[in-house]
Structure formats: structure tokens, C-alpha cells
Structure 1
Amino acid sequence: MCRLLGVVSREPISLDRAVRDEIEPFTEQSEIHRDGWGVAWFDAADGKAAADEAAAGGDDAAAGTPRPAGEHRPVDPRRPRIHRHLDVARESAAYRDAVAEATGPMMLVHLRKASPGLPLRIDNTHPFREGEAVFAHNGQYDLSDPLREAILARGGRTPEGTTDSELYFSLVELHVRETDPATAVQRAAAELTQLCLEHAGRVPEALNCLYMTPDVMIAYQQSDPAQAKPHHTADNYSLRYRIDADRVIVASSGIPQADHLDVGEGQALVINRGDLSVSVRPALDCEVR
């Protein structure tokens, strides 16, 4: 179980200002979700990203292999910026720096609570990236070696770590080659559900996720209440969103959510960066057996 927070703003704005009423209660949840954190954003008004992470901070520094001071990779105009670390967000100076640094029309934050048996490594820390796409997951499913092999055999993105979440992302990236991002997420979830039934005998506990590109943010909700743990609250896997004049916010439970709407089971919320328009894709018309 993890926590998700995404925001799309009409104009570029710092993350701590864009979600100033939500960021502290969200961060407080890292007292439980304490297995690392990640912040990702596209920080220019036209969707262009700045230079890749500098030597201080970001993935490379967290992994222990910082680049020499002043050295930058060539700028990719649609490359997301990502900072990921393994410490507890509420106790982390790096997290506070990342939240203050993140500035853009499109931003997301992930707090990780690792699935049992999965190691705490930087390459297991969300969000994950492939080209211009960013992905973060809240949930889990029964991951066996045969299921892993079945997913990898489909030919999607090659995972860098060992999480079930990255394999889910692999299926999303496979489907996004043939369709729009919202449909790709829904199809990947449906395929993964079917594979879980075949290899584990039950559906995933949850496949909630945020998928972000320079142009769109997708929020998807799917969960099985029968697999809820005793310590889970009734809204543990809820995803809710709110449309304001200058922003759209979508988040897991645990923060103030007055006047928020629920993303329904199997639905995909689509937030377009260009005009801040919002639509809800209905659940796919398919039966999982």
C-alpha cells in the first residue's frame, strides 16, 4: 500500500504552492508509508523539462553514483525530472527540497510502503520512467516467477528493479504503443488481472496508478475489497479528484478531500495539460474470468 498525489495546474507553479493545503497531511502519511518517496514533474509551460538531475539530489545521488559537479546529460525537451530517495519523507531534507524545487503544470508524488518481500532499493522506488512517461502504483498482486515470466514475455518495458509495479508499467507501455494512454492503462490492468487469475487464482489486491506524460495525466482505480488487510480503512484504495479554476488534483485518501469526486472502479480519469480539461473513461466492457 502506497500513497499517490498528482496535480495539473493551469500555469507553472511550485508543488508546495499548488497543493499547499494537502502537502503536509500527505507527507505525514510517510510515518506509515516510510519505504522511500519520489517526486516527478514537467516544469515548463510548454511541457519541456529542464536539464536532467544535477549531481546533488535525484536518482543518481540517491543511488550513490553522483555525477561530477556541473556535468549534465544533453537536455531532452520532453524528459521528466524525478527525485527518488529511500528515506522517510517527513524526516527528509531531500524530500522538502524536491517539493520546493518541483515547479510545473504537471507534478506527482509517491510515498512507498513496500510489498512484503520486496527490497528497499532505489530502482524499486516509484515513480518509474520510460522516455517521457512516468508511472506510480498503489497496490499489489501475487507475483510468482511464472507470472513474472508471462508478463516479460509480452515484450513491454524491461524492468530495472524487482517490483510488481514495474511489471504493471511494462504492460502499460506495451499497450500505449497501439492506443491512447488512458485506454492503455485500462487494457494493461485488464490483462494483468487475467494473468493473475491464471497464475495465482485471484485478482490483484489493487492496481491504482498515476501515469503522466508532458501532455496528460491518467489516474486509474481498481481494487478488490475482499483482500483488504485488517489495518486498512474502508477508503484505503480510493482515488479522488477535485477540479478547481486553476488546478486539478487527484490523490489517495488521507488528506483533506472536501468536494472531491471518486474515480470509479475500472475508470480512468484523464486530465489534459493543454486546457485543463477533465474526462472520465468508463470501465472497459470486458469480463474477466
Structure 2
Amino acid sequence: MCRLLGVVSRDPISLDSAVAEEIEPFTAQSEVHSDGWGVAWFEAADGPSSPDGTGITGAAGGADGSGAAGAIGDTAAGAAGGAGPVPLSNPRRPQIRRRLDVARESAAYREAVSSAMGPLMLIHLRKASPGSALRIDNTHPFREGETVFAHNGQFDLPEGFREAVLARGGRTPEGTTDSELYFSLIELHARDTDAATAVQRAAAEITALSLEYGTRVPEALNCLYMTPELLIAYQQSDPAQARPHHTADNYSLRYRIDADRVIVASTGIPQTGYLEVGEGQVLVVHRNDLSVSVRPRLVELVA
């Protein structure tokens, strides 16, 4: 399991200011969710650019976590070369910083949450699925063009499953996680429908494929999906697959609507006044006016 936190603010503001009360208890969870972290944000269209317009990758070292100095560069452009800062030419392009160290102990993490500036921002703390490699290209959030995706949960990858997803023609994964296959299907469905429906259809398709190629439904498909205009949160989990160390609300996603922000987060932080995202529901937060809507569970079948 992982931890998710997303926020949409009325005005551009630094991430650590936007979630000033939540950031420390959220970050403290990296003691358990210690397999890397990622921060992503969209700045205001007319706002200042970030200090360097870059993504930071690697652990204590290079892009694969093995070197002695962190690589700096645009993560989508392939930071492994460590060629230095690469300015982002498209203001609608999400900015991402990822690293393989423990957020709670990371100076780079602190710098990322203070320099992230925008009305749309998210953080992911990773606890890798069993057998999933600790590599920077497996570290959330993932980016494709103008969208960002972060997943909390897991599903089996039996023989034939990955090939079946990739044959559909969605986004090509950079790493080896189940999460990127989920993202691939979201991006595929987003070509023909709105973002919220695309997330629900992708989740339904992952569930169907899990039963076609395997023996059980996904443990969880909780996610945050971010575009330049929207923050979308989806919740789906199977309580029967809860592990001994899980709490009863391990896969709950909750949100709170304030005057100047909307926040959505996994459990593990104080959540007074929060509402629950129901099973199969999609929460949609609009950047332009902070309006919030909840889509009911999808009943249509995925072809």
C-alpha cells in the first residue's frame, strides 16, 4: 500500500503552505511507506515558473539510486543522463520530483514540497508491492503529456495480463509496476471520454482482466489523477484481501472542502470534517472554482 495526498487551492500557493497542518503527519508515514516518494504539481498559467523547472530522480544517488549524486532533469525526458536542468516549455505540463529515499529523512523531499507551487498538487509515498523493483521508473507519480497519475493498491499480474493491456494501445509503461498498466488504460479511455469516466472504465477493465487471467479482483485501485483543470480521486478496494498489518480504513480515501482549498488524502493523518469517497465513486475537483462533484459507481460494462 502507499499513501496519497492531493490538494487544489484557490490561489497559487506552495505545497507545504497549502497542507500546513497535514504535511508532517503525512510525511511521518514514510517510516513505513519508505520505498520512495514523488511530488507533482501544475502551476498557475500566468504564475512564476519553479526554481529550475526540473524533476529530481534517484535515491541517495543517480537515476537508478546507485550513484553518489542525485540526477537532476526532466523525468519524462529521461533524467538518467543527469545532463542538468531542462526547462519545461509547456506551462500546462506537470512538474514532477521523484526520489527513492525515505521522505521523512530526505532534504530533497523537503525542498520539493516547499518549492512546488500551484493550485494543483499531489504527493505519493510508496510502499512497493511484493516483488516490485525499487527503481525510479517504478516511482509514482507517473506522467503522460498533461496528466499525472498515482496509485495506492495492487493487483496480480498473471501470465498474459500485461500483454493483454498493452495490446489495447494505451500509454507504454516506463517501468514494471501494475500501476502503470492501470495508467495506460486510463489514458486509452481518456481519448474517447471525460477524465472521470476514463478512470472508472479503466478500473472496471483491470478488474475484468484480473478475473479473466487470474483468480481474484484487485486488492485496491485507489488513485489520484491530475490534469491542468482537474484533480480526480477514485476509490476501489477488496476488504477480503486486507493484510494483518492493515487497518480497517487502510484504503479509505477522504476529502475536505474548505474556503480556499479542497484536500483529498489516504488515512493516517487527522481527518476531522472529512467526507468519504465511496466504493467505485469518483471525486472531481475543478481548479477554476474549487467546485466538487461525486460521480456514482459506474454500472455500464466495459467492452
Shift of 1:50: 5.3
- Three-state SS of the structure 2 residue aligned to 1:145 is coil
Deviations 1:61-99 (A, max 9, x none): 26553224xx53451121111000000000000000000
- Alpha-carbon RMSD: 1.9
Pair 1:17 & 2:17 matched: yes
Shift of 1:48: 8.9
**Residue identity matched to 2:11:** E
Q: Return the alpha-carbon distance in structure 2 between the equivalents of residues 287 and 133 of structure 1.
A: 25
Pair 1:213 & 2:238 matched: no
Shift of 1:145: 3.3
**Residue identity matched to 1:266:** G
Q: Return the alpha-carbon distance in structure 2 between the equivalents of residues 49 and 190 of structure 1.
A: 38
TM-score, normalising length: structure 2: 0.90
Contact in 2 for aligned 1:135/1:209 (Cα 8 Å): yes
Q: Return the alpha-carbon distance in structure 1 between the equivalents of residues 178 and 97 of structure 2.
A: 21
Deviations 1:222-276 (A, max 9, x none): 0000000011000000000000000000000000100100000000000000111
1:8 aligns with 8
Q: How many pairs were matched up?
A: 285
- Three-state SS of the structure 1 residue aligned to 2:148 is strand
Residue 66 of structure 1 is aligned with which of 74, 82, 98?
82
Contact in 2 for aligned 1:140/1:207 (Cα 8 Å): yes
2:292 aligns with 278
Shift of 1:171: 0.3
Q: Return the alpha-carbon distance in structure 2 between the equivalents of residues 257 and 190 of structure 1.
A: 29
- Three-state SS of the structure 2 residue aligned to 1:129 is strand
Shift of 1:150: 0.6
- Three-state SS of the structure 2 residue aligned to 1:166 is helix
Deviations 1:1-35 (A, max 9, x none): 00000000000011111001000000000000000
Mapping 1:1-150, distance limit 5 Å:
1-44=1-44, 53-54=53-54, 57-58=56-57, 61=71, 64-68=80-84, 72-73=86-87, 75-150=89-164
**Residue identity matched to 1:67:** A
Shift of 1:114: 0.3
Moved over 4 A (4+): 45-52
Change (3 A) 1:49 1:201: farther
Deviations 1:85-120 (A, max 9, x none): 000000000000000000110000000000011110
Q: Return the alpha-carbon distance in structure 2 between the equivalents of residues 211 and 51 of structure 1.
A: 25
- Three-state SS of the structure 2 residue aligned to 1:172 is helix
Pair 1:174 & 2:188 matched: yes
Q: Give the unaligned 5+ runs of structure 1.
A: none
Shift of 1:54: 3.8
Shift of 1:36: 0.2
Q: Return the alpha-carbon distance in structure 1 between the equivalents of residues 170 and 52 of structure 2.
A: 25
**Residue identity matched to 1:66:** G
Mapping 1:195-206, distance limit 5 Å:
195-206=209-220
Contact in 2 for aligned 1:44/1:50 (Cα 8 Å): no
Q: Give the unaligned 5+ runs of structure 2.
A: 64-70, 73-78
2:258 aligns with 244
**Residue identity matched to 2:19:** V
The share of aligned pairs that are identical, in percent, is 73
Change (3 A) 1:150 1:43: same
Contact in 1 for aligned 2:54/2:96 (Cα 8 Å): no
